[in-house]
C-alpha cells in the first residue's frame, strides 16, 4: 500500500542534502570539538559554521546562539535559565492557555516553586489578544512566554504587539518559534524578542537538536554543569553531526522558504476547499483562524467521532495524520488547545491535525479527503471501524 504522510508538524523527513552534509561527521570526521588536535578542530569548525548559518537565518550574531538537544530543552533553558539567573526567588509569569506542553508544564512546575503564573485565555480562533496580555501584566511580572504558531491549529499569535508591550515595561519575552521557523523569517533582535526557540526536525533536519537565541543583556544560567561547551550553558560534548545537519537545513531554508510557502499555501487551500465541499463530510468543523494562520497546518473535527478511532482507521487506509501535538500522541484526553478555544463537546474529541510539507502533492490531498470520507461514512452508519 502506498502511504500518504500528512504529519509534517510532528516531524519532517531528513532532506537528502542534509544527510550528505552530516555523513562525514558520522564516519571519518569523528573528532571531539573540545580536542586541540586536527580532528577536534575539524569538528569545532563544523559546529561554528552551523552556528553562523542559523544565526544568519535569524539576522543575529552567532555568539547569541546556543545549541540544545531539541525544542523542549531550548524552551526549558530559556524559561528556567532566565529565572535562575535573574529572579531565583519568585515573580509573576505570563503565558497563554494554548502553549506547547514544553512551556505549560515548565510553568506548572514553577507555580510550585514560589512563582505566580497567569495563563491568558484565547479567543475562539485560538489567538490571544494583545490587549488581554497587556491586562495580565503587573508590576512584578518578570517573564512572558508566547508561542509564535500553535502546533495544533496553526494559529499565529500577535508576537510583535506583545513584544512592544514587554519592551516598554522592560519584561523579558520568550517566543517558542519551533512550529513557525520553517514558514517565517524571524529577526528577534529587531522584533523585541529576548529569547527565541527553534529546532531542526521541523525544517527537514535531524531530530535531537535545537537552538536558543539569547538577546543582548539577557542573562541565562546553565541547566547542566561540567565542561564549558555552548557558552557554558550546556555542558557535554556537542552532537556534531546533528548540529551540522541543522546548519545545512537552515541554509536550505533561507534559499527555499518563499517557494515552500507558496506551494504549501496552495495545497492548504485545496485541502480546505475539498473538505468543506465534500457532501460526505456533513458535520465537520474547522478549528482555528482562516486569516492569521501558518500555511502548513489545518485542524478539523468530526462531530461525535473519537480522534484515536479516526487516526487508526485512517492509518489502515495508508494516511498518517495526528490528533494534535506529537508529544501528546499517547494521551486520550481532549486537546487543551481546543478546550481553551471553547470548542463544543460535540466536536472536542473528534479532532484531527493535518500538516503539509514540501513533499506533499495534490494527489496526497485528494487521497486523504477520500479516505476521510470513507471513514466518516462508516461513523455516520454506526459501523465498527
pLDDT in tens, 243-285: 999 999 999 999 999 999 999 999 999 999 999 888 878 789 9
363 and 139 Cβ atoms separated by less than 8 Å: no
At which residue does the C-alpha cell 494559529 appear? Answer: 155
Q: Based on the residue annotation, tell me whether 327 is a catalytic residue of this protein.
A: yes
pLDDT at 304: 87
What pLDDT is recorded for position 177? 98
Residue percentage of the chain with pLDDT more than 90: 90
Least-confidence region, from 133-142, 151-160, 186-195, 300-309: 300-309
CATH architecture of the domain with range 4-12+257-380:
Alpha-Beta Complex (3.90)
244 versus 381: the higher-pLDDT residue is 244
What is the mean predicted confidence (pLDDT) over 340-357?
95
pLDDT, mean of residues 20-27: 98
Look at the pTM and tell me if it is higher than 0.85.
yes
Whether the CB-CB separation of 318 and 371 falls below 8 Å is answered with yes
Q: What is the pLDDT of residue 102?
A: 97
Residue 289 pLDDT: 87
pLDDT band at 163 (very low <50, low <70, confident <90, very high): very high
pLDDT at 367: 97
Distance (Å, whole) CA 191 – CA 384: 52
Phi/psi for 361 (5° steps) reads -120, 165
Predicted pLDDT at 328? 54
Task: Tell me the three cell numbers of residue 249.
Answer: 537545513
Q: What is the pLDDT of residue 385?
A: 53
> What's the average model confidence in pLDDT over 77-82?
98
Phi-psi region of 91 (alpha: psi -120 to 50; beta: other; left: phi over 0): left
What cell does 208 get? 535531537
In the predicted model, what is the mean pLDDT of residues 275-300?
91
> Which long-range contacts link 35-43 to residues 24+ away (Cβ below 8 Å)?
43/238, 43/240
| Identical topology for domains 4-12+257-380 and 16-252 | no
Residue 200 pLDDT grade (very low, low, confident, very high; cuts 50, 70, 90): very high
Q: What is the mean pLDDT of the chain?
A: 94
Cα–Cα dist 183/180, whole Å: 5
Residues 206-230: what's their mean pLDDT?
A: 96
- For residue 383, the model assigns a pLDDT of 60
Give the mean pLDDT of 27-32. Answer: 96
Which percentage of the chain shows pLDDT scores above 70?
Answer: 96
Each domain of the chain, given as residue ranges in start order, spans 4-12+257-380, 16-252
Parallel/antiparallel/unpaired status of strands 210-214 and 65-68: antiparallel
Q: Using pLDDT thresholds of 50, 70 and 90, give the confidence band for residue 132.
A: very high
**CATH class in words for 16-252:** alpha beta
pLDDT for position 379: 73
Q: What is the rounded (10 degree) CA torsion for 244, 250, 255, 258?
A: 160
Strand 284-286 to 297-302 pairing: antiparallel
Residue 384 pLDDT > 80, yes or no?
no
**pLDDT of 294:** 97
Residues 6+ apart with CB under 8 A from 110: 79, 80, 83, 93, 117
Amino acid 299: pLDDT? 97
The residue annotated as part of the active site, out of 156, 199, 262, 327, is 327
Band of residue 333 on the pLDDT scale cut at 50, 70, 90 = confident
Amino acid at each position: 500500500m502506498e502511504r500518504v504522510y500528512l504529519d509534517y508538524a510532528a516531524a519532517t523527513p531528513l532532506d537528502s542534502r542534509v544527510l550528505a552534509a552530516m555523513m562525514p561527521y558520522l564516519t571519518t570526521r569523528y573528532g571531539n570539538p573540545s580536542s586541540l588536535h586536527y580532528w577536534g578542530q575539524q569538528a569545532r569548525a563544523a559546529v561554528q559554521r552551523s552556528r553562523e548559518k542559523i544565526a544568519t537565518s535569524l539576522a543575529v550574531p552567532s555568539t547569541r546562539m546556543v545549541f540544545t538537544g531539541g525544542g523542549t530543552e531550548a524552551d526549558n533553558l530559556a524559561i528556567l535559565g532566565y529565572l535562575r539567573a535573574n529572579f531565583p526567588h519568585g515573580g509573576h509569569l505570563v503565558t497563554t492557555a494554548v502553549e506547547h506542553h514544553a512551556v505549560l508544564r515548565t510553568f506548572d512546575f514553577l507555580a510550585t516553586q514560589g512563582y505566580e503564573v497567569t495563563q491568558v485565555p484565547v479567543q475562539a480562533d485560538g489567538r490571544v489578544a494583545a490587549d488581554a496580555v497587556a491586562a495580565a501584566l503587573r508590576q512584578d511580572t518578570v517573564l512572558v512566554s508566547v508561542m509564535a504558531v500553535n502546533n495544533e491549529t496553526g494559529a499565529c499569535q500577535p508576537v510583535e504587539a506583545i513584544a512592544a508591550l514587554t519592551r516598554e515595561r522592560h519584561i523579558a519575552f520568550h517566543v517558542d518559534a519551533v512550529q513557525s521557523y520553517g514558514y517565517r523569517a524571524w529577526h528577534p533582535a529587531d522584533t523585541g524578542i529576548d529569547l527565541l526557540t527553534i529546532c531542526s526536525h521541523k525544517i527537514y533536519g535531524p531530530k535531537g537538536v535545537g537552538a536558543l537565541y539569547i538577546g543582548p543583556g539577557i542573562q541565562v544560567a546553565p541547566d547542566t554543569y561540567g565542561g564549558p561547551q555552548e557558552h557554558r550553558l550546556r555542558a557535554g560534548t556537542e552532537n556534531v553531526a546533528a548540529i551540522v545537519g541543522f546548519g545545512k537545513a537552515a541554509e536550505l531554508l533561507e534559499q527555499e522558504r518563499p517557494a515552500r510557502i507558496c506551494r504549501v499555501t496552495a495545497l492548504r487551500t485545496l485541502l480546505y476547499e475539498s473538505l468543506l465541499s465534500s457532501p460526505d463530510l456533513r458535520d465537520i468543523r474547522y478549528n482555528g483562524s482562516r486569516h492569521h494562520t501558518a500555511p502548513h497546518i489545518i485542524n478539523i473535527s468530526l462531530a461525535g467521532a473519537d480522534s484515536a478511532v479516526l487516526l487508526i482507521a485512517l492509518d489502515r487506509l495508508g494516511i498518517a495524520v495526528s490528533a494534535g501535538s506529537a508529544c501528546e500522541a499517547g494521551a486520550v484526553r481532549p486537546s487543551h488547545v481546543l478546550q481553551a478555544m471553547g470548542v463544543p463537546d460535540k466536536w472536542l474529541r473528534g479532532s484531527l491535525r493535518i500538516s503539509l510539507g514540501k513533499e506533499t502533492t495534490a494527489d496526497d490531498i485528494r487521497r486523504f479527503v477520500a479516505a476521510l470520507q470513507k471513514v466518516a461514512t462508516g461513523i455516520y452508519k454506526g459501523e465498527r471501524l
